[in-house]
Structure 1
Amino acid sequence: MQMTLEGGKELERKLTSLERKVAKKIVRQAVRAGLRPTLAAAKDNARSNIGGKMGALIARHTVLRARKKQRRGSYSMAVRTKSESEGAPAEFLGETKEGARYYIPAALEFGHRTPFGPQGHKVGARPFMRPAADTTREQSIRLVSETLRAGILQAAKG
């Protein structure tokens, strides 16, 4: 989800007048605050849509992480499940008869084929991330702009 703050010309001027380190901190905090409702909704969806032990595991290991910068001045974060290097449980990793590894939360989110039968058996998606992003979009945008505005005004005063 990309967001552009509109109607904030005076905020933009104040943000550019602040030190780079302070401005970066304000933006990072605002983006993190905006994604918290999405994180909570994704965890709830994992528990309810998937259910059972796997739903609880996915909810427990769904986190908010900073993403690598694509260009100077851009900041992004993502709600995602932990990767193997971040300590994802062994239950998240599956292996086919041929030895190919797969990530179970991704298979649940997008759907997959099982190796049974000549053509395989299609298993429908049971998404938990996409509905969370869709239902909390407006709330996230509002929270980012409010937090950004408050942070800029506070930094400009102090």
Structure 2
Amino acid sequence: MGRKRSRKQSPLFYINQPNIELPQPDMQKNFSFKNSEEMSENQKVQEKTVEVVSDASGNLGEEVIHETESVDVPKKRNFNEYTLEEKVKHLKLVPASVAKVKYEFITIERSYKGYFMEMKGEVLFIHSISPRKKSVSILKEDLVDIKRVGL
């Protein structure tokens, strides 16, 4: 076996790499909501004000946070407490990635148990599991009530 030769060599190439300062990210100061009217009312109700208290000598002291307590904050309602219009709106807004929930669609003539698929115009398309497994279209004006059955 041979001996390994190790010798220290100076670099063959030298690349000049200047010192560059990393850019400083600007922090987000303002934000907005989609429902600006509803949120502006909530912001007024739950507004926090900050006051800086100064000593007699003119030095800045502690920050005092005041909260205005809200009495009229609407609580989260149950699906069964919604009106029929709100139930239909809720069905349209639930994303497809959420687990499918069984509903009972009660019409003037009969009731269907099944899954909500989509809504086109004034027609709801559901996948009925009771009385038979089939796709059913229901006019919005024929609906009497929608009840949540379960998963």
**TM norm structure 1:** 0.22
**TM norm structure 2:** 0.23
Greater strand content? 2
Larger radius of gyration: 2
